[in-house]
């Protein structure tokens, strides 16, 4: 294909994909340079913040005609996960486009496509001379792929974030292999827990009572029995998504010193993802009971324990949801509201008390985030820009809300 004939939005997308913002050493300077250039081209205010050394947060702003109103935040993360090049058909940072229009690169789905779709939608609306009451901020944050602790988690606690006066934030979602578009109105609570079991040591030839291993066996059985029940519940209801059930996985077992010595201590680590519909205090009690039932000297510690169950109500009574979903209906898009099965930066935004929706406009597309040969079809990418022009325009036009009229 003649490169000159390529859609300029696609060309910019492929250029962005070639910036190696890959963990553990992302090229954030390259990212900032590219985004600032886009801001200058489109005519947006630009700002760079750093709350952790070398971890740049970029904010691009399109002022509204009523800047005192709550703003629309379009969030995306700039880092991508590592690659195993030997498993890729094309080099993962070449942004190769095949004859079917599939663009292969790390970050095509997660989530450089969305960053460029935001920018291109705004480019289009600005070129048409459109203006909106509400200010639109694009926030591009680092390190989401390693937990967001040096990115969004710090950012939401800063006065600079509050100064954005957030109304609704859009953030990443997932591709949908069917014709529907997934939209995420909440996230599961991530709990990582290690259970430590202490017991009597002894020689490997004897039946030692009160052993650490017996206690660990009891704990593991309790966790995995519950996992099996949730799995059955998931499989028995065709309407359920992963976001509707609690996933439990044993991720680490440790202990022991020698083949013939019964150890005095063993431990197991579990990764739990709990829907916001679950009573978390009650669930905590359940874990406590499993540990107590295993015997004495059984303790546990949390490495991560999200207790925030805040969701963004996916109903027309919520003006943000209505402004998001109405243009989708007009475009004939079938939305599938879901709870996000893993974790994104939206959890920090919701914990800070603000509404957020996760949405990546990719339907009829296999979910390939973090996978080898991650790709996005050019037509799906370009269609997403048109979807965003409608959604962003609608959100930025939401009339003053009751709490805004009192000011």
Residue keyed to tokens 């294909």 = 1
Say if CB 193 and CB 287 are below 8 A apart.
Answer: yes
Other CB atoms within a 10 A radius of the CB of residue 260 amount to 8
For 332, phi then psi, to 5°, come to 75, 25
Catalytic entry in 143, 144, 145, 172 = 144
**Tokens representing 36?**
């600032």
Q: Any catalytic annotation for residue 79? A: yes
**Tokens representing 366?**
């296999």
Q: Taking the mean position of all CA atoms in its chain, how far away is CA 55?
A: 18
Say if CB 174 and CB 91 are below 8 A apart.
Answer: no
Catalytic entry in 79, 120, 338, 378 = 79
Q: Any catalytic annotation for residue 128? A: no
**Tokens representing 387?**
């979807």
Other CB atoms within a 10 A radius of the CB of residue 90 amount to 17
Say if CB 323 and CB 133 are below 8 A apart.
Answer: no
Measured over the CA atoms of residue 351, residue 355, residue 360 and residue 364, the dihedral's sign is positive
What is residue 70's DSSP assignment? P
CA separation for the pair 375, 104 (Å, rounded): 4
CA separation for the pair 92, 71 (Å, rounded): 36
Active-site positions? Answer: 79, 144
């Amino acid at each position: 294909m003649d490169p000159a004939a390529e859609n300029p939005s696609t060309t910019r997308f492929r250029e962005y994909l070639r910036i190696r913002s890959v963990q553990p050493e992302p090229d954030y300077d390259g990212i900032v340079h590219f985004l600032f250039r886009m801001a200058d081209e489109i005519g947006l205010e630009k700002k760079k913040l750093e709350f952790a050394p070398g971890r740049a947060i970029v904010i691009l702003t399109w002022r509204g005609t009523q800047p005192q109103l709550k703003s629309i935040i379009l969030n995306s993360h700039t880092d991508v996960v590592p690659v195993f090049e030997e498993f890729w058909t094309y080099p993962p940072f070449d942004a190769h486009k095949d004859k079917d229009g599939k663009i292969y690169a790390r970050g095509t789905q997660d989530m450089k496509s969305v960053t460029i779709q935001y920018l291109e939608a705004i480019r289009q609306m600005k070129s048409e001379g459109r203006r909106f009451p509400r200010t639109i901020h694009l926030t591009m944050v680092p390190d989401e792929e390693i937990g967001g602790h040096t990115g969004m988690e710090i950012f939401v606690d800063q006065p600079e974030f509050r100064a954005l006066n957030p109304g609704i934030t859009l953030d990443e979602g997932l591709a949908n292999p069917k014709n529907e578009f997934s939209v995420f109105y909440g996230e599961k609570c991530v709990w990582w827990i290690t259970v430590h079991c202490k017991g009597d040591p002894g020689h490997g030839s004897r039946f030692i009572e009160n052993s650490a291993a017996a206690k660990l066996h009891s704990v593991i059985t309790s966790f995995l029995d519950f996992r099996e029940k949730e799995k059955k519940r998931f499989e028995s209801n065709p309407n359920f998504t992963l976001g509707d059930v609690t996933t439990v996985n044993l991720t680490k077992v440790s202990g022991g010193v020698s083949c013939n010595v019964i150890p005095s201590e063993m431990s197991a680590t579990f990764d739990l993802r709990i829907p916001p519909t679950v009573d978390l205090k009650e669930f905590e009690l359940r874990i406590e009971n499993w540990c107590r039932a295993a015997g004495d000297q059984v303790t546990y510690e949390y490495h991560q324990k999200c207790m925030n169950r805040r969701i963004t109500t996916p109903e027309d009574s919520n003006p943000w949801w209505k402004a998001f979903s109405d243009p989708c209906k007009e475009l004939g898009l079938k939305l599938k509201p879901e709870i996000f099965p893993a974790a994104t930066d939206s959890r920090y935004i919701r914990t800070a008390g603000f509404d957020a929706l996760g949405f990546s406009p990719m339907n009829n597309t296999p979910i390939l985030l973090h996978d080898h040969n991650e790709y996005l079809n050019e037509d799906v990418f370009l269609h997403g820009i048109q979807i965003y022009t409608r959604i962003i325009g609608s959100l930025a036009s939401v009339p003053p809300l009751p709490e805004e009229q009192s000011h």
